[in-house]
Amino acid sequence: MKAALHITNGDAFTSYFKVLKIPGTVITWREMLCEGKTLHTVGSEEFWRERFDYLSKNYKVTKKSFIDLTLKEYRQLCNQKKQEEIVLWFESDLFCQINMLGVLSWLKTHRKYAQISVVSNALSLSDKSAKGFCELAKDTLLEMYASRVYLNQDDIEFADYAWQLYCSDNPIRIAQLSDFENFNFPYLKSAFQLHLQRFPSLKNGLNTPENKVLQLVSSNEYAHKEMLIKELLSHQGNMGFGDSQYLRMLQRLQPLFSSFKPVKLKRTAHKVLNGQTNFYSKIKDSKLYLGGALKYAYLYNQEQKNFLKL
């Protein structure tokens, strides 16, 4: 067995992966391309400038930590040029699928010679009993590795095209994308559907995840914010978000809360949730991107699954 290059979905799994003793070099993809502005030219100076700008402003990522954790690991990836096979370890959630597309777009340009395969975790769908890579037994992961899916050139071209659409300024193009079943990406369609639901709704100006926050709080009691976030993580379906994403979401929704200890909604929040009041003008952020599109330049009609451009 020739040693391959393995690109993993995060540091936690990289640590676990090393215990599996699968031969090859391991690179960790330390990004969250499902948030903030993205450019099609993954790895370019402009691409990394955009990513740092978003992460520093929204997650207080310092220049030093961005260089030490993300850019140095990316440079390690650039230095891996001899492996004949590259194995991607990305799960089925939105977070991982968008990262996977970005990596595949980069590989299409920079590693044309390599055979690319993907290990995806079918168990990471919205089932409550689902387990991520790090929760699976070693034997299970080894079986998944043995049955990994090899991508052909058409698959890679499709992934790059899907990435271009994600980076475009118009989410309607993603909504019109079809033929998923003809390619080896069984979870991409559902991930894109979740992505489209992150644009503000026509009904009340909040997107689907934000509405779910209000729904949970309106029907349950939480002693403090941390308890709510724990509940959100267990009810997020196939988003793949972590604590930090939900903390930011709560910050944006803060005007609708009277308290976070205990967690209580204002009367206005119930009107927003019922569609009696539209919160769009209050929550609108003219600089917030999802991929290449401005989040608040479009309204999503959940019932008809189409967009209204503002």
Joined tokens for residue 168:
């475009």
Give pLDDT tens digits for 28-39. Answer: 999 999 999 999
Contact assessment for residue 86 and residue 7, using Cβ atoms and an 8 Å cutoff: yes
Give pLDDT tens digits for 42-66. Answer: 999 999 999 999 999 999 999 999 9
Flag whether pLDDT at 126 surpasses 70.
no
Long-range contacts of 298-304 (CB under 8 A, 24+ apart): 298/171, 298/172, 298/199, 298/200, 299/199, 299/200, 299/201, 299/202, 299/205, 300/196, 300/197, 300/199, 300/200, 300/201, 300/202, 300/207, 301/201, 301/202, 302/197, 302/201, 302/202, 302/203, 302/208
Give pLDDT tens digits for 133-182. Answer: 998 999 999 999 999 999 999 999 999 999 999 999 999 999 999 999 99
- CB neighbours of 268 closer than 8 A, spacing ≥ 6? 256, 277
DSSP reduced 3-state for 287 = coil
Mean pLDDT of 112-141: 81
State the average pLDDT for the chain.
94
How many whole angstroms from its chain centre is CA 21?
Answer: 28
What pLDDT, on a 0 to 100 scale, did the predictor assign at position 127?
Answer: 56
Flag whether pLDDT at 260 surpasses 60.
yes
Question: Which residue has better confidence, 20 or 235?
Answer: 20
Residue ranges per domain, the chain?
Answer: 4-196, 208-283
- CB neighbours of 84 closer than 8 A, spacing ≥ 6? 2, 4, 113, 114, 115
Mean pLDDT of 292-308: 93
Sheet of 4-8, strands arranged across: 24-28, 4-8, 85-89, 115-119, 149-150
Q: Is 283 exposed, middle or buried (0-12, 13-18, 19+ CB in 10 A)?
A: buried
Joined tokens for residue 28:
């960790």
The model carries a pTM of: 0.95
Which candidate, 198, 201, 203, places its Cα nearest to that of 275?
203
Flag whether pLDDT at 217 surpasses 60.
yes
Joined tokens for residue 41:
């030219």
- Per cent of the chain over pLDDT 70 is 97
- Per cent of the chain over pLDDT 90 is 91
Mention the CATH class of domain 4-196.
Answer: alpha beta
What pLDDT, on a 0 to 100 scale, did the predictor assign at position 176?
Answer: 94
Joined tokens for residue 87:
């194995």
Which candidate, 68, 49, 46, 67, places its Cα nearest to that of 57?
49
Flag whether pLDDT at 257 surpasses 60.
yes
Can the peptide bond before residue 200 be classed as cis, meaning omega within 30 degrees of 0?
no
What pLDDT, on a 0 to 100 scale, did the predictor assign at position 124?
Answer: 47
